[in-house]
Amino acid sequence: MKKSAKAIVHSHDHQHCVEDALAAAEKLCAAKDLRFTPLRRRVLEFVWSSHKPVGAYALLDQLRDEALGSAPPTVYRALDFLIENGLIHRIERMNAFVGCSHPGEAHRGFFLICADCGNAEELEAEEIAQAITAGAAERGFIAREMTLEVTGVCADCRKS
């Protein structure tokens, strides 16, 4: 099993996260022969503006003010593209989106969401997915997609 992604430290150089995310997206699109359009890029960048999930409406508002001709359906299509290609995740309970911290690798959207700072951290826990799949199978149910959104207080907020 892979080691877990590093915890989000509040005072980190977030510009690195953004640059890494954009570089990873460019690489992934080039490898899969997909178009990383200016809008897709801008949406990804905006979702990555922090580690807090970005609400769909905030995103639409922001992009409406920019000169990308971004009507809501276009923005939703860009979001779908980013989700399908594993570059961002949707946080269902918040109707919001957050950048994926290890794009290009197959994994579930399991999240630890801090109620204090609002950061959403990915939790790698393939054993949970396996337990759900097995439990569902016992009931004759084929599990396809699963999300897990755990709320609580993150390590940084506990320290302060």
Binding residues for Zn ion, rule: CB under 5 A, are 14, 17, 100, 114, 116-117, 122, 154, 157
Query: In the complex with Zn ion, which residue's Cβ is closer, 117 or 125?
Result: 117
Nearest-approach distance from CB 28 to Zn ion, in angstroms: 13
**Cα separation, 99 vs 82, whole angstroms:** 9
Q: In what order do the strands lie in the sheet with 147-152?
A: 120-122, 109-114, 147-152
Check residue 50 and report its DSSP letter. Answer: S
Smallest distance from the beta carbon of 157 to Zn ion, in angstroms?
Answer: 3
Q: How far is the CB of 64 from Zn ion (least distance, A)?
A: 26
Please provide residue 8's backbone torsions phi and psi, each rounded to the nearest 5 degrees: -80, 120
Closest CB to Zn ion among residues 42, 107: 107
Residue 36 or residue 122: which is nearer to Zn ion going by CB?
A: 122
Pick the closer one to Zn ion by CB: 29 or 70: 29
* Residue 62 main-chain phi, psi, to 5 deg: -60, -45
Of 7, 120, 100, 107, nearest in space to 53 by CA: 120
Shortest distance in whole angstroms from residue 78 CB to Zn ion: 18
What is the Cα–Cα distance from 53 to 99, expressed in whole angstroms?
Answer: 8
